[in-house]
């Protein structure tokens, strides 16, 4: 794998938001050219591209993805093609063979959330920065308390546990406010 | 006993379908047998999905901002560049200036096209945001320190390019020359390829390495884009 590609993949895994922007800028023209005959309205294409880049980024972060047989570009295009197909209810454009099973795209949209989850989301947005950060590490990054301790200033694992339960309590109380 | 911590990795992987067939079977068996475990997983998954959607929305907001900044600033930038190019074209007919003067005439700070500066963003990239905020305010000294710090954490071609820009803007020309040279060697296909050659050429001019500067300007002319092509051509015609 090219050094530059490997470095960019690493930054995506690390959740480097600058890498998100770099991917967005780097492949935009090629992506637009590729899908412009399938997606006619330009505004929709921009929107589709943004969703595609976000999905790529989140898959890297969530799964700590290391692409070996494909590149960021092929992966990005595969996501884009699937999104276009889903959005316009056309035929599935990517055959399953194009993506390795472990590289399968994880996807969840706002429309998939239950009423209760939507209420949780609203409440989460009102939490303090420190609570959001802590809950993100646990529920979004899937990190164990041991791993969280290594990358934060929390004194010990018990403090992390008690802070988390305090944040969850706060979150639940915000739902009812 | 709080089992939650032990299960984080398992839950996370299960939710993303990352378990092996064997692990998946074991997981299903536990779900069926242990009510607490099943409930714990449901709670984890429910909140995890919320956070994924929420984070996705924030990321999308960032791209929307980037996209609107890019489409707003680009045409203005190119118009300004065109005007400058025409002015220099006229100017070049009347006057021949040696290295130092040419540098002064042709050098202008490169704009921040990478990270839009926004306020109050709860972003993990705060050093990056701070660096570009300083860059935008022309505090090149301050930005320089932060870019250097970022590069220590993570090598990045675009950050290295902007670090070189801060060095040029603070008259650290020898250092700027070596940073730009390294950028071309380490990342020959970097995003700011034409820009790198252009500023490398300018700094060589300033450092009185005319022959090498001409090579760099040739690369700018040969580059498929339009960035500073005209100016590079003018300089090539003017240099001895």
pLDDT in tens, B8-29: 999 999 999 999 999 999 999 9
Provide the chain B residues 67-106 that lie in CB contact (below 8 A) with chain A. 67, 70
Q: What is the domain count for chain A?
A: 2
Quote the CA–CA distance of B58 and A34 in Å, as a whole number: 26
Is the domain of B125 the same as that of B53?
no
Is the domain of A51 the same as that of A123?
no
Is the domain of B56 the same as that of B131?
no
Residue A96, chain B, CB below 8 Å: the answer is no
Per-residue pLDDT at B149: 87
Is the domain of B6 the same as that of B70?
yes
- Is there a domain that residue B128 lies in? yes
Is the domain of B32 the same as that of B65?
yes
Is the domain of A77 the same as that of A129?
no
Cβ–Cβ pairs < 8 A, chains A and B: 126
Quote the CA–CA distance of B131 and B27 in Å, as a whole number: 46
Which residues in chain A are contacts of B59 at CB distance < 8 A?
A: 17, 20, 54, 57-58
Is the domain of A14 the same as that of A34?
yes
Q: How far is CA A27 from CA A21, A22, A50, A69, in A?
A: 10, 9, 11, 19
Per-residue pLDDT at B119: 53
- Is there a domain that residue B27 lies in? yes
Is the domain of B154 the same as that of B65?
no
Residue B146, chain A, CB below 8 Å: the answer is no
Which among A51, A68, A103 is the end of a domain?
Answer: A103
Per-residue pLDDT at B79: 56
Q: What is the CATH number of the domain that holds A160?
A: 1.10.10.10
Contact A121 B191 (CB under 8 A): no
Q: How far is CA A105 from CA A30, A62, A108, B58, in A?
A: 21, 11, 10, 20
Quote the CA–CA distance of B38 and B113 in Å, as a whole number: 49
Which among A60, A83, A103 is the end of a domain?
Answer: A103
- Is there a domain that residue B81 lies in? no
Is the domain of A116 the same as that of A90?
no
Boundaries of domain holding A148: 111-175
- Is there a domain that residue B88 lies in? no
Tell which of B17, B21, B42, B50 to mutate to test the A interface (max A CBs under 10 Å).
B50
Q: Which candidate from B8, B49, B51 shows the least CB-CB separation from A144?
A: B8
Per-residue pLDDT at B95: 42
Is the domain of B70 the same as that of B110?
no
| CA proximity to B227, closest of B65, B52, B106 | B106
Is the domain of B57 the same as that of B110?
no
Is the domain of A91 the same as that of A137?
no
Sites in chain A below the pLDDT cut of 50:
90-97
Is the domain of B16 the same as that of B114?
no
Which residues in chain A are contacts of B11 at CB distance < 8 A?
A: 142
Quote the CA–CA distance of B110 and B165 in Å, as a whole number: 7
Does the ipTM exceed 0.95? no
Is the domain of B105 the same as that of B64?
no
For chain B of 240 residues, list the mean pLDDT of each consecutive stretch of 10: 68 93 95 95 96 96 84 53 60 51 84 69 65 88 90 85 93 91 85 89 89 92 84 88
- Is there a domain that residue B4 lies in? yes
Contact B63 A21 (CB under 8 A): yes
* Those residues with Cβ within 8 angstroms of residue A77's Cβ, 6 or more apart along the chain or in another chain: A31, A34
Per-residue pLDDT at A41: 65
What CA dihedral angle connects B138, B141, B146 and B149, to 10 degrees? 150
Q: Which candidate from B12, B57, B157 shows the least CB-CB separation from A142?
A: B12
- Is there a domain that residue B83 lies in? no
Q: What is the domain count for chain B?
A: 2
Residue of chain A whose alpha carbon sits nearest to that of B70: A25
Contact B53 A15 (CB under 8 A): no
Is the domain of B115 the same as that of B233?
yes
Per-residue pLDDT at A92: 45
Boundaries of domain holding B41: 1-74
């Amino acid at each position: 794998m090219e050094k530059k590609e490997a470095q960019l993949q690493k930054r995506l895994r690390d959740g480097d938001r600058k890498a998100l922007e770099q991917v967005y800028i780097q492949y935009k023209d090629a992506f637009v050219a590729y899908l412009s005959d399938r997606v006619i309205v330009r505004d929709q294409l921009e929107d589709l591209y943004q969703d595609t880049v976000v999905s790529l980024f989140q898959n890297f972060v969530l799964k700590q993805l290391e692409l070996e047989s494909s590149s960021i570009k092929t992966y990005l295009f595969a996501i884009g093609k699937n999104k276009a197909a889903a959005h316009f209810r056309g035929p599935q454009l990517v055959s399953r063979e194009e993506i390795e099973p472990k590289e399968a795209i994880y996807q969840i949209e706002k429309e998939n959330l239950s009423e209760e989850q939507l209420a949780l989301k609203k409440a989460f947005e009102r939490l303090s920065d420190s609570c959001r950060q802590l809950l993100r590490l646990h529920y979004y990054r899937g990190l164990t308390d041991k791993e969280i301790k290594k990358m934060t200033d929390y004194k010990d694992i018990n403090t992390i546990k008690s802070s988390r339960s305090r944040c969850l309590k706060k979150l639940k109380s915000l739902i009812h406010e | 006993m709080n089992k939650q911590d032990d299960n984080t990795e398992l839950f996370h992987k299960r939710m993303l379908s990352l378990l092996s067939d064997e692990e998946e079977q074991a997981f299903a068996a536990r779900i069926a047998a242990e009510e607490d475990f099943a409930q714990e997983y449901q709670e984890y998954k429910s909140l995890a999905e919320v956070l994924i959607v929420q984070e996705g929305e924030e990321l999308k907001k960032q791209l929307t901002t980037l996209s609107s900044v890019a489409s707003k600033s680009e045409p203005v930038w190119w118009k300004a560049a065109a005007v400058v190019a025409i002015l220099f074209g006229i100017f070049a007919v009347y006057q021949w200036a040696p290295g130092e003067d040419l540098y002064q005439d042709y050098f202008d700070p490169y704009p921040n096209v990478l990270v839009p500066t926004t306020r109050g963003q709860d972003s993990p990239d705060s050093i990056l945001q701070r660096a570009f905020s300083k860059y935008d305010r022309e505090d090149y000294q301050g930005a320089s320190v932060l870019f250097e710090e970022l590069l220590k954490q993570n090598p990045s071609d675009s950050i290295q390019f902007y670090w070189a820009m801060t060095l040029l803007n603070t008259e650290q020309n020898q250092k700027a020359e070596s940073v730009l040279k390294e950028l071309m060697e380490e990342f020959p296909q970097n995003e700011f390829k034409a820009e790198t050659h252009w500023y490398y050429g300018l700094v060589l001019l300033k450092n009185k390495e005319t022959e090498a500067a001409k090579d760099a300007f040739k690369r700018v002319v040969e580059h498929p884009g339009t960035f500073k092509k005209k100016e590079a051509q003018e300089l090539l015609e003017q240099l001895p």
